[in-house]
């Protein structure tokens, strides 16, 4: 019994790190680097690819698969649950509902593919009359993945996105992509926006649905990069983000 995290790169490491803060265990992390970014794929290609990756993770003992990616969740989680009914899938969605606790309009930072999905439209259906602003964030995940931990260029791009709203009636920013979590503290320092992320909720859901046996081993993160030449880079990044022992699988 294992918990596996699946993302197109390092974004989901933020979710794994939060889980390690709450529980110990031997977890799997699949950084799908050769398909990064997911937002550049067609929906059918992404769905079919994620079925193959999920089958691989299940063969390695995963009983819970965390789609630590908003785009993957929006596009494929329903199909994956139907394809693998014996496996528990935990998704990641923009924290729109928590953002409604604050006054003012809401800026949602998410990939274009996430924004086009019906699952996201249903989240916006909880609107109580305020406006949701969805700026173009198409390059953010790529810049973070390319440059981490030096995300200066990504920080400059998020400034271009947010500065026009700094003195507007928009009061809250929703982090709608796990990659963007690496910019969360920067946004909090630089702007007066309330900043909300779904990471904590995802971790609570993992703890609720996972068997206790998933948390019985010493903390270890086994990682795999879709690009073999980047395996050592991924291991270094995983250790930096999660602060636990890291090994390949």
The pLDDT tens digits of the residues spanning 100-140 come to 899 999 999 998 888 887 777 777 765 567 789 999 998 99
More confident residue, 59 or 131: 59
Q: Are 87 and 110 within one domain?
A: no
The percent helix, strand, coil of the chain (3-state, each to 5) is: 50, 20, 30
Backbone angles phi, psi at 87, to 5 degrees: -105, 140
CB 27 within 8 A of CB 244: no
Calculate mean pLDDT across residues 205-214: 97
Same domain, 130 and 62: no
Residue 209 and residue 88 share a domain: yes
What is the reported pLDDT for 125? 66
Q: Which of 69, 137, 214, 242 is catalytic?
A: 69
Residue 109 belongs to what H/E stretch? strand 105-109
Same domain, 17 and 47: yes
112 and 193 housed in the same domain? yes
What count of other Cβ atoms lies within 10 Å of the Cβ of residue 168?
A: 11
Q: Which sign, positive or negative, has the C-alpha torsion 183, 29, 72, 112?
A: positive
- The first and second tokens of residue 138, run together, are 């198409």
User: Does the pLDDT at position 62 exceed 80?
Assistant: yes
Mean residue pLDDT of the chain comes to: 93
Residue-wise DSSP of 131-163: -EE----TTHHHHHHHHTT--HHHHHHHHHHHG
181 lies in the same domain as 209: no
Same domain, 49 and 36: yes
Q: State the Cα angle at 124 between 118 and 72, rounded to 5°.
A: 45
The two three-digit tokens of residue 163, written as one number? 């500065």
CA–chain centroid gap for 189, Å, is: 22
Q: Which of 160, 175, 197 is at the close of a domain?
A: 197
**Whether residue 83 is found in the same domain as residue 165:** no
pLDDT of res. 34 = 86
Q: How many domains does the chain have?
A: 2
**146 and 132 belong to one structural domain:** yes
74: helix, strand or coil? helix
pLDDT at 85 exceeding the cut of 60: yes
Instruction: From residue 21, give the alpha-carbon distance in Å to each of 9, 193, 228, 243.
Output: 21, 26, 29, 10
Indicate whether 36 and 68 sit together in one domain. yes
For residues 102 and 193, membership in a common domain is answered with yes
Residue 210 pLDDT > 60, yes or no? yes
CATH at 23 = 3.40.50.1860
Q: Which of 137, 177, 214, 242 is catalytic?
A: 177
The stretch 171-197 carries a mean pLDDT of 96
Partners of 30 in the β-ladder: 6, 224
Please give the residue range of the domain that contains residue 74.
2-92+200-248
Q: Is 206 found in the same domain as 88? A: yes
CA 108 to chain centre: 14
CA nearest neighbour of 54 among 87, 27, 26: 87
**Mean pLDDT in residue range 182-192:** 97
CB proximity list for 99: less than 8 A, separation 6 or greater? 106, 172, 174, 194, 196
Q: Is 69 a catalytic residue?
A: yes
Please give the model's pTM, rounded to 2 decimal places.
0.93
Is 14 annotated in the active site?
no
- DSSP string of 195-227? EEESHHHHHHHHHHHS-GGGGSSPPEEEEEESS
């Amino acid at each position: 019994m294992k918990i596996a995290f699946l993302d197109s790169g390092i974004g989901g490491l933020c979710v794994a790190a939060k889980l390690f803060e709450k529980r110990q265990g031997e977890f799997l992390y699949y950084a799908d680097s050769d398909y990064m970014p997911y937002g550049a794929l067609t929906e059918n290609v992404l769905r079919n690819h994620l079925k193959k990756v999920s089958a691989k993770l299940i063969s390695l003992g995963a009983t819970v698969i965390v789609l630590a990616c908003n785009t993957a969740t929006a596009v494929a989680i329903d199909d994956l649950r139907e394809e693998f009914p014996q496996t528990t899938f935990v998704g990641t969605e923009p924290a729109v509902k928590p953002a409604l606790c604050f006054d003012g309009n809401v800026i949602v930072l998410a990939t274009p593919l996430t924004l086009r999905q019906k699952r996201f439209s249903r989240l916006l259906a909880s609107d109580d009359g305020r406006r949701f602003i969805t700026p173009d964030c198409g390059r953010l995940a790529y810049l973070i993945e390319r440059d981490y931990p030096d995300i200066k260029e990504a920080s400059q791009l998020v400034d271009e996105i947010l500065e026009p709203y700094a003195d507007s009636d928009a009061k809250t920013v929703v982090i709608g992509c796990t990659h963007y979590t690496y910019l969360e503290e920067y946004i909090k320092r630089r702007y007066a926006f309330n900043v909300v992320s779904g990471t904590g909720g995802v971790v609570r859901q993992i703890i609720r649905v996972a068997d206790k046996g998933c948390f019985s081993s010493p903390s270890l993160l086994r990682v795999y990069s879709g690009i073999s030449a980047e395996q050592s880079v991924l291991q270094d990044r995983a250790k930096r983000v999660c602060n636990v022992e890291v090994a390949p699988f």
